[in-house]
Amino acid sequence: MDEALLRTLTPAVIGVLGRRGADFAAAEDAVQEALVEALRAWPDDPPRDPKGWLVTVAWRKFLDAARADASRRDREMRVEEEPPPGPGRAVDDTLQLYFLCAHPSLTPASAVALTLRAVGGLTTRQIAQAYLVPEATMAQRISRAKRTVSSVRFDQAGDLATVLRVLYLVFNEGYGGDVDLAAEAIRLTRRLAALTDEPEVAGLLALMLLHHARRASRTGPGGRLVPLAEQDRSRWDTGLIAEGVTILQAALARDRLGEYQAQAAIAALHADAQAACETDWVQIVEWYDELLRLTGSPVVRLNRAVAVGEADGPRAGLAALAEVSPGLPRYAAARAYLLERAGDLEQAAELYAEASRAAASVPERDHLTREAARVRQMLRP
């Protein structure tokens, strides 16, 4: 059984049912039932036309559900005559599904879950495991999301920027359960890049590839977090780096700069350095300037301050950090790092400890706790 094929076919089959009159929620339910049938029947009797088989079975599932629901009698009048089996005209509805699943009316968590289900073809159980929540909880989240978008026309224009944000959210979730969400996000973004020539889609794909290339070096024994400067660069995936840089260069050549392209350019400069001391921090600051112009993000401003500290010295970095709100997450950690480099070890140790208490994850907390202990050790006679 080729589960990858089923995932690839899922959005196309949902699209066929949508064009035949099914709303999104009903089409998605019917396709999921057809996928269950495929998992049962295909190992012993694989079809010659997998997509046609799924369309036929899913359409029959939809009709059965429509006929059984008295509240849908008006729809039953429209779909009483079943169209011929098969996928119908060759139309790729995947892009429209991206837009639908990233609808502005959905919360980010719901948009991510619905994208993984409808576009990614993952089961509710797989998504629940990836997010470390009970399957029933994820099923409710997906059901609510489907109800929210059920009245949205399948051909309604969508917002590509929202789709990209959803995909980036999926990528940043990383790994949990038996589904590698970072790899899944890359797979979905590759498919989106094949459907549109927007430079920002290519920029997001390049950013994902460049970050993913460093994955093996990011953690040590026991899940210990390894900062970028201390990572074993021989473990970086040079193939992914080369692909990411090639995609980024093609996107930048279009001269329509966006935030994902700017982020990817920063990641590419890190990837280009053979050692941490060879990093071109001056160029990185310039790219942060571009990114700040595009987004105005306080997080970008904080990261830029750290880069300024590397390019122009810690005192310059602290001056840049003064423009950032102290209440911003990771502010204390950034200030501790710059203060340590400036020689103020006592205050740096206090801030590392403060940052560890506010850490968003256990590995980050443990890392900052070790940093505080290391600096305190340097203070001892």
Whether residue 319 is contained in a domain is answered as yes
Specify the pLDDT at position 77. Answer: 44
Specify the pLDDT at position 290. Answer: 97
Report, as an integer, the average pLDDT of 68-74: 53
Q: What is the pTM of this model?
A: 0.80
Q: pLDDT class for 75, splitting at 50, 70, 90?
A: very low
Overall domain count for the chain: 5
* Co-location of 82 and 101 in the same domain: no
pLDDT digits (tens, 9 = 90+) for 298-309: 999 999 999 999
Domain that residue 379 falls in: 338-381
* Co-location of 37 and 111 in the same domain: no
* Co-location of 147 and 118 in the same domain: yes
Of the three residues 31, 66, 91, the one that is the final residue of a domain is 91
The DSSP secondary-structure symbol of 213 reads: T
Q: What are phi and psi of 176, to 5 degrees?
A: -165, 145
* Co-location of 6 and 66 in the same domain: yes
pLDDT digits (tens, 9 = 90+) for 345-372: 999 999 999 999 999 889 999 999 999 9
* Co-location of 55 and 24 in the same domain: yes
* Co-location of 317 and 362 in the same domain: no
Q: pLDDT class for 154, splitting at 50, 70, 90?
A: low
* Co-location of 85 and 97 in the same domain: no
pLDDT digits (tens, 9 = 90+) for 235-289: 999 999 999 999 999 999 999 999 999 999 999 999 999 999 999 999 999 999 9
* Co-location of 81 and 103 in the same domain: no
How far apart CA 188 and CA 198 sit, in angstroms, is 15
Two structure tokens written together for 10: 């899922």
Q: What is the DSSP string of 133-202?
A: S-HHHHHHHHHHHHHHHTTS-TT----HHHHHHHHHHHHHH-EETTEEHHHHHHHHHHHHHHH---HHHH
* Co-location of 136 and 119 in the same domain: yes
